[in-house]
Structure 1
Amino acid sequence: MITSFKLLKGILSLALFFSICLWLIFLFILGGIILGYGGTFGLENILEDFELNSKTTRIVLTTYLLGGYAVIIYVVYILRKLVVSLNTGRLFTKFQSAGFNLIGQIIIWLVVISSISDFILKLILNSRFEVKASFPDFWLFLAVGSFFIALGQVFEKARLIREENELTV
């Protein structure tokens, strides 16, 4: 019988593996676009919002995209380590509370930086003043990040109560 933690660990391991593979493929493809080796490799819909007139613009946009995906891969990696830690049976450890808190902070920072950089890129590259803060994108991920931070705080309080309880026994 497979437990839900083992299943979740397997899913996260697959997601981590495929994310790293896709990141490396995008690194190769976008590197080719930056250096001017051929076309856009079918990425016209991603790049159509931005006018890629100069090599510097392409380097900045590629660094931004690859950096964002690398941070997402790191979040999946931490989440996988948390699932493994929760599966060991020892709950409310310092790593678990810090891990949930870190995931929440990274998600919130990623959403805020993504929104600000999207605004700045469209303003500078396309000379368009456009503000987007739709529910599915911005507010949902802020709520998810806040949930992880709250979960980290709950785990920290439970850890402190458990340590206090172990001292009194």
Structure 2
Amino acid sequence: MKNDSIKILKGLLYVSLALSLFTALVSLGFAITYGFFNTYDLNTDIELLFPITSNTTAVVQFLYSMLLYLGISLIVWLLLKIVASFQNNKFFTKYQIAGFNLLGKLIIWLSIIDSFGSFFMRIIFRSRLELKLEISTFWLFIAIGAFFIVLSKIFEKAYQLKNDSDLTI
């Protein structure tokens, strides 16, 4: 990879990290506002996962949103660290292997937590059971997470081959 493309990728990741952290802070701000200052107006038409009908609903939704964006921020930060490790033209390191493996697992777990969280919150706050039988982004993110885990295995094999070739020289 060229250094310029790595710099551009790092810049995009920094912007993504800033936006996800900003969104998490905004969600926390709304949760605090609704939770402590009772500023909910029943005449508004705010709907995130489901219509907001009380302060409790608002606080739970905004805290849930904040936690998801913090998870996304962690994933972006980890990806940023892995990309930064490529900048020194060092490939197939143990850090990159562990980073890709952790990145894949975090993406899969965040997808599962998001799916189950929204499922149970719909049951609790809408008092009805909704099952969607469609191809959703859930499976896309599971596949992306699995890709990063497989990529870590490929990097691990390349690391072993690199070490074997270093020993023979």
Same structural fold, with TM-score higher than 0.5 when normalized by the shorter chain = yes
Report the identity percentage: 36
* Contact map agreement 2:111 2:141 (CA 8 A) in 1: yes
- What's the secondary structure of 2:129's corresponding residue? coil
Corresponding residue for 1:45? 47
| Aligned mates of 2:111, 2:58 — CA distance in 1 | 22
User: Structure 1 residue 21: deviation in Å?
Assistant: 2.3
Counterpart position of 1:26: 27
Secondary structure in 2 matching 1:45 = coil
Deviation per CA, 1:99-146, whole angstroms, max 9, x where unpaired?
A: 111111111111111111211111122111112353241111111111
Structure 2: distance between partners of 1:32 and 1:136: 32
Amino acid at match of 1:44: I
Matches within 5 A, 1:149-164: 149-164=149-164
Q: Is the 8 A contact 1:97 1:155 kept in 2?
A: yes
How many angstroms apart in 1 are the aligned matches of 2:68 and 2:22? Answer: 15
Match of 1:6 in 2: 7
Which shows bigger deviation, 126-135 or 10-19?
126-135
What do you get for the CA RMSD once the two structures are aligned? 2.3
1:50 and 1:122 in contact (8 A); partners too:
no
Aligned to 1:167: 167
Of residues 120-129 and 30-39 in structure 1, the stretch that sits farther from structure 2 once superposed is 30-39
Provide the rounded CA distance (Å) in 1 between the counterparts of 2:121 and 2:26: 24
Contact 1:51 1:126 in 2 (8 A): no
For structure 2, the residue ranges without an aligned partner over 5 or more in a row are none
For 1:59 and 1:37, the matched residues in 2 are separated by: 10
1:77 alignment partner in structure 2: 77
- 1:69-126 CA-partner distances (Å, limit 9, x unpaired): 1010000001111111012100000111111111111111111111112111111221
2-structure distance, mates of 1:168, 1:88:
25
TM-score (norm 1): 0.86
